[in-house]
Amino acid sequence: MILGMGSDLCDIRRIERSIARFGDRFLERAFTPVERAYADRRSGMARIGTYAKRWAAKEACAKALGTGFNNGVFLRDIGVRNRPGGAPMLELTNGARAALGRLVPARMQASIVLTMTDEVPYAMAQVLIQALPAEGIATGTVMG
């Protein structure tokens, strides 16, 4: 059962300007420590593109949750991690996790699918939130 879907297109140059203007203050406000560590292993436009894709993923997830960045959902409540094979996944905390919990019907478990891409000067992300039967899935687990 599909609970929500969201997409976002981000101009990489906008993220580049925000980083240049506000530096660490912007990065710490918008991105989790895991996201910053991952992006900062890259250099130049690859670093900026990595941040832009994660920004787009946060926006797409907020749309899929149906909240936007309101009702206690903040940028840092939505984090992108990479699985060992490199595939991206979302990790929701605080207000974003609570918003997800309100979407999921009883005896169901949330599954979140994320895809991201970039082609300078744009980054794009799509998020699909679905509910699956909870049978065989550990309670409280949010799959990416």
Q: Is residue 14 part of a domain?
A: yes
Q: Is residue 28 part of a domain?
A: yes
Separation between Cα atoms, residue 30 and residue 79, nearest integer Å: 10
Residue 8 annotated as binding?
A: yes
Q: Is residue 27 part of a domain?
A: yes
Can you give the pTM of this predicted structure?
0.90
Q: Measure Cα distances from 64 to 20, 29, 115, 136 in Å.
A: 30, 21, 13, 25
Q: What is the pLDDT of residue 138?
A: 47
pLDDT tens for each residue of 3-27: 999 999 999 999 999 999 999 999 9
Whether 143 has a pLDDT exceeding 80, the answer reads no
**CATH code of the domain covering residue 72:** 3.90.470.20
Separation between Cα atoms, residue 11 and residue 55, nearest integer Å: 10
Higher pLDDT, 138 or 100: 100
Separation between Cα atoms, residue 92 and residue 16, nearest integer Å: 25
Residue 16 annotated as binding?
A: no
Task: Assign 141 a pLDDT band (cuts: 50, 70, 90).
Answer: very low
User: Domain span at residue 116?
Assistant: 2-133
Whether 144 and 88 have beta carbons less than 8 Å apart is answered as yes
Q: Is residue 72 part of a domain?
A: yes
Q: What is the pLDDT of residue 71?
A: 86
pLDDT tens for each residue of 37-65: 999 999 999 999 999 999 999 999 999 99
Q: Is residue 141 part of a domain?
A: no
How many CA atoms, within 13 angstroms, populate the side-chain half-sphere of residue 8? 20
Q: Is residue 143 part of a domain?
A: no
What percent of the chain shows pLDDT beyond 70? Answer: 93
Q: Is residue 142 part of a domain?
A: no
Q: Measure Cα distances from 128 to 4, 18, 39, 40, 89 in Å.
A: 6, 28, 24, 27, 11
> How many domains does the structure of the chain reveal?
1
Q: Is residue 138 part of a domain?
A: no
